Chains A and B, each alone.
Chain A
Amino acid sequence: MARSTGEDAQALIRSLRSAYAATPKNLKIIDLYVAFAVSTALIQVVYMALVGSFPFNSFLSGVLSCVGTAVLAVCLRIQLNKDNKEFKDLAPERAFADFVLCNLVLHLVIMNFLG
């Protein structure tokens, strides 16, 4: 049982890797950016756990800015992905422009709240 689960897990990982290798380059870059943002958020949470949460507004704005950029990047990826039928007539420039606008608003709020 355990052996077959182990083999299953390995087969799964292999197929995941091969499927993922097929994604286009720009999407992989966005994925990397998302991973970076999420890891920055995790580092901030660990730091907060070590040092305490005062001032809370700075912590909140830091974490939420990381999470926010990750979410927006995922939205951009969704819109740029060729496999998505719903967005096939959306120009990539328009998607990127929306992404930039939303990030501007997000960071304006973050700057205001950082304290």
Chain B
Amino acid sequence: MVATDSPAAGGSLRYAFGGVLSFFILVLIGVLAFSIRLFSVIKYESVIHEFDPYFNYRVTQFLTKKGIYDFWNWFDDRTWYPLGRVIGGTVYPGLTLTAGTMWWLANSLNIPLSVETVCVFTAPVFSAFASWAAYLLTKEVKGPGAGLTAAALLAMVPSYISRSVAGSYDNEAVAIFALVNTFYLYVKTLNTGSLFYATLNAISYFYMVCSWGGYTFIINLIPMHVLLCIVTGRYSSRLYIAYAPLVVLGTLLAVLVPVVGFNAVMTSEHFASFLVFIILHVVALVHYIKGILSPRMFKVAVTLVLSVGIILCFAAVAILIAVVAASPTKGWSGRSLSLLDPTYASKYIPIIASVSEHQPPTWPSYFMDINVLAFLVPAGIIACFLPLSDASSFAVLYIVTSVYFSGVMVRLMLVLAPAACIMSGIALSEAFGALTGSIKFHLLASSDSQGNAGDATPVSVLPENGKAKTDKVEETTKERPSKKNRKKEKDVVEKASVSHRPENQRAEKKLWALPIEASVLGILLLVLLGAFYVIHCVWAAAEAYSAPSIVLTSRTHDGLHVFDDFREAYAWLSHNTEVDDKVASWWDYGYQTTAMANRTVIVDNNTWNNTHIATVGTAMSSPEKAAWEIFNSLDVKYVFVIFGGLVGYPSDDINKFLWMVRIGGGVFPHIKEPDYLRDGNYRIDSMATPTMLNSLMYKLSYYRFVETDGKGFDRVRQTEIGKKYFKLTHFEEVFTTHHWMVRIYKLKPPRNRIRGKAKKTKSKATTSSGSNTSPKTKKNPWQ
């Protein structure tokens, strides 16, 4: 800036003040991100939610008790009985190591936090970090104003809140921070060309690989961007420095994580990075040779090389295709394939298809999860093209790919959230800039016409992204956007008039200045939009996403009812059964059972062994005797089912029964789905098929149900049940919770003595000579 002394000092003071103000704004954004996620702690208690977090909690407990070496080598024999699970090699350690480190740090400073507290609050803390990382990333793409807006938006966006409330102790809690941080460091390296940031980028990528399986998104998006830059003619040496060290260091670091291991060099998910690595080297070589040769010689070189090179290329590609085509899934894993082809999972892998998070989202869920950002994103994309830089092309590529993936799987709306916030931050910042620039222009024009010839500082910032503001804006600011506005205002407080610039520039500005009333109205409406966004986010955080799902509440006319049946059941199990007893249930509840009831389970949420799950599914779908046989062969002592018919809880096992049949039928052909369907529907009323009425799931759910209201009316299915009065022959009920939501049964031991042929007289309880029982008559030895 060329200026006289005092305005220069004033300018730097303004910048310093702006810097301090943006620091405080960032601190406030961090506090906002942390506190908006605390609704569940306030409404319920500081408890871990859902299913997967319980596994992570159990692993963290183990880590804090036994130390890292035992954690790394841990073989868990209390799940997937009798197979066990190698925890050290199959878990993403980032989250547990982070929480373990935080716990250890707090305890070494004599702050006595329990492991549970640290686990519950890990997610809000890291969401504050993620907002700061989003600020840094957007600052690299567009500027600090856009950065602050994007950070504020990310702190509150409902889709991120849904997976990172206090208590949701899952991989995404730290993974989103790692994702945004890695992207920030990549863009920073791209902008500065510094090898130092490239190193940091690789280390941040390592943290991401440790934390979440979604790291494959990064290792495919960045090569895609490099390819885009090469193809659009934006190759530069900074691109080489940004990408090449990342590939080498990143692959090495990824191979270090046990759960990834050699997959980092052998699966198709990573091939894109190697391919682009080679392409980048070719382009770099060409660029270098072009630099040192004269143009004529370069042409000669090109023709020579092309003729030879094409033959080599064909050979290499043919080898690669042969290798890849040799493997049945072409080298891709099942989960990745289901991302590329959304119908793949439903055809071939019913387990992946059955998880509700893996279904495609509905249109309303976009509005619920990213709200106002949904229509700010296109404006942001346009703003990224004016002007187009490497960083802004990266942002556009990020949003486009994440929109595609979020359309495939609702769980991946989470990856869309940071991209949407960045784009919307850019859009809002540009819009504000243009509108306030117009206002300022009009104000200055009107004051200029009054002959204002004062101190001219030809300072100027003909704002392409217009950061000029006036005091008028101060009155119209409210809430969150106001923080950003106020920072910019103070920034430019007594900015000297631009009116003393040469005439042609004035004419230029005149061209794009909007009328002043439109600008003011525009600003008002944008602020109102922001207000609606804030209201929606707070509502979503408080009402929709704060349910811990281990404790349910409902409001009736006589107050608040709390359904704590799950913990009641797990507590009963842990107090009334032996330590080594095996408990069987559907796989949803495995993690919670091992963590809270501390009993060995047969299958759990890891779902790594489809046959084992199919065995349990078959048992649940079979008649009592066959089910008893299956469970007895697995040494199971107790079986429990979740039943929501009494209180109207819709996610119970009868509603999940169709998956038990499908998965079981996928492995054991004697389970045929049409046997359970009447007119294509699963029914449990009087029109149900006999196979359904005899299945273990039906019997265990509805045993003695008719005693509750005399008619056996199931509140979830809204009908009366089909078979009301029956006895259980191979199982005995040992516990049913207060609202009948969890029903625990024990396997009856086989009788010592087998009855003889005299089954006609039921009163006879004595045995006949057991050896005379003919093997042909199929007697039930347990009657």
Contact = CB atoms under 8 A, between A and B. Distances in A.
Interface string A93-115: 00100110110011001101100
Interface string B178-219: 000000000000000111101100110000000000000000
A60 B260 CA distance: 14
A60 B262 CA distance: 9
A112 B16 CA distance: 45
A105 B297 contact: no
Nearest to A72: B245
Contacts of B388: none
A78 to B, nearest CB: 4
B309 to A, nearest CB: 14
A61 to B, nearest CB: 7
B387 interface: no
B496 interface: no
B465 interface: no
A12 B297 contact: yes
B256 A71 contact: no
Contacts of B265: 60
Contacts of A54: none
A102 B202 CA distance: 10
B304 A71 contact: no
Interface string B54-73: 00000000000000000000
B202 A105 contact: yes
Interface in A54-90: 56-57, 60-61, 64, 67-68, 71-72, 74-76, 78-79, 83-84, 86-87, 90
Given A16-B293, A56-B262, A109 B252 contact: yes
Chain A interface size, under 10 / 10 to 19 / 20 to 34 / 35 or more: 35 or more
A109 B253 contact: yes
Contacts of B241: 75, 78-79
A46 interface: no
B248 A71 contact: yes
Interface stretch (B232-240, B658-666, B743-751): B232-240
A86 B251 contact: no
A75 B292 contact: no
B550 interface: no
B301 interface: yes
B294 interface: yes
Nearest to A101: B199
Q: Is chain A's interface secondary structure helix, strand, loop, or mixed overall?
A: helix
A75 B240 contact: yes
A19 interface: yes
Interface in A3-30: 5, 8-9, 11-12, 15-16, 19-20, 22-23
Contacts of A106: 248-249, 252
B216 to A, nearest CB: 19
B439 to A, nearest CB: 38
Nearest to B284: A74
B647 interface: no
B667 interface: no
B244 A71 contact: yes
Q: Is chain B's interface secondary structure helix, strand, loop, or mixed overall?
A: helix
A114 B126 CA distance: 33
A15 B203 contact: no
Contacts of A90: 193
Interface in A35-67: 56-57, 60-61, 64, 67
B151 to A, nearest CB: 28
Nearest to B297: A15
Given A12-B300, A72-B195, A86-B238, A57 B202 contact: no
Given A15-B293, A72-B245, A79 B195 contact: yes
Interface string B239-272: 0110011001101110110000010010000000
Contacts of B237: 78, 84, 86-87
Contact of A75 (B195, B251, B300, B304): B195
B655 to A, nearest CB: 46
Interface string B482-524: 0000000000000000000000000000000000000000000
Nearest to A83: B291
B279 interface: no
B289 interface: yes
B75 to A, nearest CB: 21
Nearest to A61: B252
Contact of B195 (A5, A23, A57, A98): A98
A64 B256 contact: no
A110 B293 contact: no
Contacts of A113: 252, 255-256
Contacts of B303: 8
B240 A98 contact: no
A78 B249 CA distance: 19
Contact of B199 (A23, A60, A78, A102): A102
Nearest to B292: A19
B195 A95 contact: yes
A16 to B, nearest CB: 7
Nearest to A15: B297
A75 B252 contact: no
Given A16-B289, A86-B237, A102 B300 contact: no
A78 B237 CA distance: 7
Contact of A102 (B236, B245, B253, B292): B245
B681 to A, nearest CB: 52
A84 B294 CA distance: 17
B293 A99 contact: no
A71 B277 CA distance: 11
B249 A105 contact: yes
Given A19-B292, A57-B255, A106-B252, A74 B244 contact: yes
A21 to B, nearest CB: 10
B293 A102 contact: no
B300 A98 contact: no
A9 B300 CA distance: 8
Nearest to A102: B199
Contact of B249 (A15, A57, A87, A109): A109
Given A60-B262, A72-B195, A101-B199, 16 more contacts: A9-B304, A12-B300, A16-B292, A16-B297, A22-B292, A71-B244, A75-B198, A75-B241, A75-B245, A84-B237, A87-B237, A95-B195, A102-B195, A102-B245, A105-B249, A109-B256
Interface of A: 5, 8-9, 11-12, 15-16, 19-20, 22-23, 56-57, 60-61, 64, 67-68, 71-72, 74-76, 78-79, 83-84, 86-87, 90, 95, 98-99, 101-102, 105-106, 109-110, 112-113
26 contacts: A12-B297, A12-B304, A16-B289, A16-B292, A23-B292, A56-B262, A60-B252, A60-B255, A60-B262, A61-B252, A67-B248, A72-B195, A72-B245, A75-B195, A75-B198, A75-B244, A86-B193, A86-B236, A87-B193, A102-B198, A102-B249, A105-B199, A105-B202, A106-B249, A109-B253, A110-B252
Closest 5 pairs between A and B when the two form their complex, measured CB to CB: A98-B195, A19-B292, A68-B248, A78-B237, A71-B244
